[in-house]
Structure 1
Amino acid sequence: MGHSHDHKHSHTHTDLKGRNLVVSIFLNILITAAQVIGGLLSGSLSLLSDALHNFSDVVSLIVSYIANKLVRKKASLHKTFGYKRAEILAAFINAASLIVIAILLIIEAINRFNNPKEIESNLVIWLSVVAILGNGFSVLLLRKDSETNMNMKSAYLHLLTDMMASVAVLIGGLLMQFYKVFWVDSLLTFMIALYLIWMGWDLLKQSTKVLMLFTPDDIPVSKIVEEINTLPSIKNIHHVHIWQLNEEETHLEAHIDFYKDITLSEFDEILHKIEAMVFEKYHINHVNIQPEFGKEDAKDIIVQD
């Protein structure tokens, strides 16, 4: 038996979220194309690295957009949960891509630092300004949704880090223009890459925990077990699993051993009490309990399936 707490989202909000992603995708395609051309013409590695990061933004935004559409599809006989994990998977892919790109940039920055080249700084300056404006607008579009959705947060972080990287490139362009310190291009690339790793790592850990069905950090399993065990007629709660399906659904699955052979209606009353308890205190909104009486099985809280 289980319980499902309704989560109502208006189609208008979801459509707006999708539209904002589309706008951001097209903006980043234009920025990427301009920076690739500008980087090749100017010889700036930091501009090319920013272009590469922008290209990763395009890919991540497309993945986020597809996930945003998939999550709205209904469940079926072959997909009983539907595509509710699509956005978590998108967040994982985006975070992993950030880190991989950052490592590649570090390698290239070290190579370029050992062999600095003269760079056409005027082009670097103007294109970095264009990137700041474009990414800044995209950041504003996604900021609100990033506060409540892991997928949108991953897209938002891609755009925010790229805007900050463009600011660094602009500063580097100004330094090269007025002081002719061309090694700063490699230094900025290295710093951008380190920042990408720092931003991506936390999101990678969060999405991995959800995909691996780990218990959320803020849910104390032992305490929940103690509280449920205090209910009358419950002898023992064991074989407990608590996990997140996505950012909106947290599931509790367990076996409960009863002192006596209770009726189905009595079990329903106890189940409703458990549902109310775990929802109000721990925001667990899906409960699935297997009732038992006199069954010989492992009674440990955690049982290896």
Structure 2
Amino acid sequence: MAHNHSHHHTHHEHHDVKGRNLLISIFLNLLITVAQVIGGLISGSLALISDALHNFSDVLSLVISYIADRYSKKKASFNKTFGYKRAEIIAAFVNAATLMIVAVYLIFEAIQRFFNPQEIESGLVIWLAFLGIAVNGFSVLLLRKSSKENMNMRSAYLHLLTDMSASVAVLIGGLLMKYYGWYWVDSVLTVLIAIYLIVMGYDLLRNSFRVLMLFTPEDVDLEELRTAISAHPEIKNVHHMHLWQLNEKENHLEAHIDFHRDITLSEFDAILVDVEHILEEDFGINHVNIQPEYQKDDPKDIIVQD
């Protein structure tokens, strides 16, 4: 079999920035958690203590993201030939799942609070909400750029964005409780945030699940891919194809190619260069593993169950 690697590695410096930003976010979220627990105990606000637990779950998710980021940079070895390239996808899947669990829990809590509103010390709640917005807002800005190109960072970013939104809800609720006595507003805002969370979390959960299950990337049509390769005059048939994502940067293709004639190895190498170019330029596939064949008696279907 012939194969090709043409991976697009992110710069080492960018990795360091990601790790540093995650560490800053972890430290800031720990500060908020401690402040909210103390504030909740002083004001008698169950909402603040539950928000502190929510913040602490975000600290854990950020720690998972940080560990995954560190592991993803480890080199491949004899017993780990892909290294830990999937660590960040696993982290994204775990974080997306916890994001949705937290959202369901928030809805449950909000419904209970809606039917049983409690009077709380709104002044302290307002100041702690301001603190939450400031700290989480800063963390969101730190991770925003990385979240666009990496599932793991996107999962951490979503956790923080939720926290910031929750703090905004707590602030609005605190102000309305202080000046109007509308204690039900907090519950309504919490439910709206939780629904948004479920929508965002589901998308991330689904995408990370697809990668972990080795599903074909959604933006690649195998029939179209086969037609593009088969257009080469020397190629008779492309079959027994496997296409999957190792992570967000690497798409892998394995396939058998049937040739019209018994070509030489050097001819095959030249044709492979053409095939790799088509796959990279038109389909974004950067790791190709081709098995050449001539009049071999095997199934010629695109997909063959191994």
Q: TM-score range by the shorter chain?
A: over 0.9
What is the one-letter code of the residue matched to 2:235? Answer: I
How far apart, CA to CA, are the structure 2 residues paired with 1:150 and 1:232? 40
Q: C-alpha displacement at 1:50, in angstroms?
A: 2.8
Q: Does 1:167 align with 2:145?
A: no
Tell me, in whole angstroms, the C-alpha distance in 2 between the residues paired with 1:79 and 1:16.
26
SS in 2 for 1:67: helix
Deviations 1:241-293 (A, max 9, x none): 11111111111111111222221111111111100011011111000011112
TM-score by length of structure 1 reads 0.96
- Runs of 4+ residues deviating >4 angstroms: none
AA aligned opposite 2:248: E
CA-based RMSD: 1.4
Question: Which deviates more, 227-236 or 83-92?
Answer: 227-236
The whole-number CA distance in structure 1 between the counterparts of 2:157 and 2:103 is 17
- 2:255 match: 254
The corresponding residue for 1:68 is: 69
Residue 45 of structure 1: how far off its partner (Å): 4.3
Q: Aligned partners of 2:36, 2:196: CA distance in 1, in Å?
A: 20
Deviation track 1:165-196 (CA, whole Å, cap 9, x = no partner) reads 11111000000001112222322332222222
**Distance (whole Å) between structure 1 residues aligned to residue 132 and residue 220 of structure 2:** 42
Q: 1:296: how far off?
A: 1.6
- 1:65-104 to 2 correspondence within 5 Å? 65-104=66-105
2:18 is aligned to 17
| CA deviation vs aligned residue, 1:72-102 (integer Å, no higher than 9, x gap) | 1011111110000111111111111000111
**1:24 CA drift (Å):** 0.4
Q: Greater shift after overlay, 10-19 or 265-274?
A: 10-19
Q: 1:43 to 1:239 in 2, by over 3 A?
A: farther
**Does the Cα contact within 8 Å between 2:148 and 2:154 map onto a contact in 1?**
yes
**How many residue pairs get matched?**
305
- SS across alignment from 2:229: helix
Q: Which moved more, 1:82-91 or 1:46-55?
A: 46-55
Counterpart mapping for 1:263-278 below 5 A: 263-278=264-279
2:48: which partner in 1?
47
Contact 2:92 2:205 in 1 (8 A): yes
Show the 5 A alignment for 1:1-305: 1-305=2-306
Cα separation, 2, equivalents of 1:207 and 1:299: 31
Where does the alignment leave 5 or more consecutive residues of structure 2 unmatched? none
